[in-house]
Amino acid sequence: MVQKLDYLKETPSQTAGPYVHIGLAPGAAGFDIYERELGWDIAGPNATGERIRVEGLVIDGTGSPVKDVLLEAWQANAEGVYPHPESAGETEEGFRGWGRVITNFETGEWAFETIKPGSTPGRNGTTQAPHINLWIVARGINIGLNTRLYFEDETEANAADPVINTIEWEKRRATLLAKRSDKDGQIVYRFDIRLQGENETVFFDI
Amino acid sequence: MSTPAEYYQRDREWHPPAYTHDYKTSVARSPQYSLISLENTVSEITGPRFGHGDIDPIDNDLILNYAQPGQSPIGERIILHGRVLDENGRPVPNTLVEAWQANAGGRYRHKKDTYLAPIDPNFGGCGRTLTDENGYYFFRTVKPGAYPWRNWVNNWRPAHVHMSIFGSGFAQRLITQCYFEGDPLIAKCPIVKTIPSQAAIDSLVAALDLNATIPLDTIAYKFDIVLRGRRSTLFENRLEGN
Query: A46-86 pLDDT, tens per residue?
Result: 999 999 999 999 999 999 999 999 999 999 999 999 999 99
C-beta atoms of A200 and B31 within 8 A: yes
Q: Which band of pLDDT confidence, cut at 50, 70 and 90, is reported for residue A30? A: confident
pLDDT at B170 over 90: yes
Give the three-class secondary structure for B7.
strand
Amino acid occupying residue A177: L
Position B176 scores a pLDDT of: 98
Position B16 scores a pLDDT of: 98
Q: Which residues of B touch A60 (CB under 8 A)?
A: 28-29
Q: Please give the mean pLDDT across all residues of chain B.
A: 95
pLDDT at B2 over 50: yes
Query: Which of these, B106, B162, B111, B121, lies nearest to A28 by C-alpha position?
Result: B111
DSSP, res A65:
B
**Nearest-CA distance A185 → chain B (Å):** 30
- Tell which B residues from 155 to 194 touch A, by Cβ distance under 8 Å: 162, 164-165, 168, 170-171, 173-177, 191-192, 194
Q: Give the C-alpha separation, B105 to B219, whole Å.
A: 18
pLDDT at B233 over 70: no
Q: What are the Cα distances from residue B131, in Å, to B37, B47, B63? A: 30, 16, 19
Q: Give the C-alpha separation, A202 to A173, whole Å.
A: 7
Under the phi-then-psi rule, with left for phi > 0, alpha for psi from -120 to 50, and beta for the rest, what region is A171?
alpha
Picking from B46, B58, B164, B231 by the largest number of A CB atoms within 10 A of its own CB, the best residue to mutate is B46
Q: What are the Cα distances from residue A95, in Å, to A83, A131, A187? A: 7, 16, 20
Is B18 near chain A, with CB under 8 Å? yes
pLDDT at B1 over 90: no
pLDDT tens digits, B217-229:
999 999 999 999 9
Amino acid occupying residue B83: R
pLDDT at B4 over 80: no
Report, as an integer, the average pLDDT of B96-120: 97
pTM, entire model: 0.96
Q: Give the C-alpha separation, A135 to B170, whole Å.
A: 9
Would you call B160 a catalytic residue per the annotation? Answer: yes
Amino acid occupying residue B228: R
Residue A65: CB atoms within 10 A of its CB come to 18
Q: Please give the mean pLDDT across all residues of chain A.
A: 96
β pairing state of B174-180 and B205-208? parallel
Q: Which residues of A touch B85 (CB under 8 A)?
A: 8
Position A28 scores a pLDDT of: 86
pLDDT tens digits, B56-88:
999 999 999 999 999 999 999 999 999 999 999
A96-115 as b/e: b if 16+ CB within 10 A: bbbbbbbbeeeebebebbbb
Q: What are the Cα distances from residue B53, in Å, to A27, A55, B99, B152? A: 20, 29, 19, 44
Query: Which of these, B75, B217, B98, B178, lies nearest to A33 by C-alpha position?
Result: B98
Position B5 scores a pLDDT of: 85
pLDDT at A35 over 90: no
Residue spans of alpha helices (H) in chain B: 42-45, 198-202
**Nearest-CA distance A182 → chain B (Å):** 28
β pairing state of A120-121 and A110-115? unpaired
Is B115 near chain A, with CB under 8 Å? no
Q: Which band of pLDDT confidence, cut at 50, 70 and 90, is reported for residue B115? A: very high
pLDDT tens digits, A92-123:
999 999 999 999 999 999 999 999 999 999 99
B182-207 as b/e: b if 16+ CB within 10 A: ebebbeebbbbebbbeeebbebbbbe
Q: Give the C-alpha separation, A141 to A204, whole Å.
A: 14
Q: Which residues contact B144 (CB under 8 A, 6 or more apart)?
A: B101, B102, B103, B104, B106, B159, B160, B161
Q: Which band of pLDDT confidence, cut at 50, 70 and 90, is reported for residue A29? A: confident
Catalytic annotation, pick one of B7, B23, B66, B108: B108
Amino acid occupying residue A152: E
C-beta atoms of A128 and B86 within 8 A: no
pLDDT tens digits, A152-167:
999 999 999 999 999 9
Give the percent of chain A with pLDDT over 90: 96
Q: Give the C-alpha separation, B191 to B178, whole Å.
A: 12
pLDDT at B240 over 50: no
Q: Which residues of B touch A16 (CB under 8 A)?
A: 162, 164, 175
Element spanning A173, H or E = helix A170-173
Polymer length of chain B: 242
Q: Give the C-alpha separation, A139 to A105, whole Å.
A: 13
Position B239 scores a pLDDT of: 45
Position B241 scores a pLDDT of: 46
B76 or B234, which is more confident: B76
**φ, ψ for residue B91, nearest 5 deg:** -65, 150
**Nearest-CA distance A104 → chain B (Å):** 13
B240 HSE (CA, 13 A, CB side)? 6
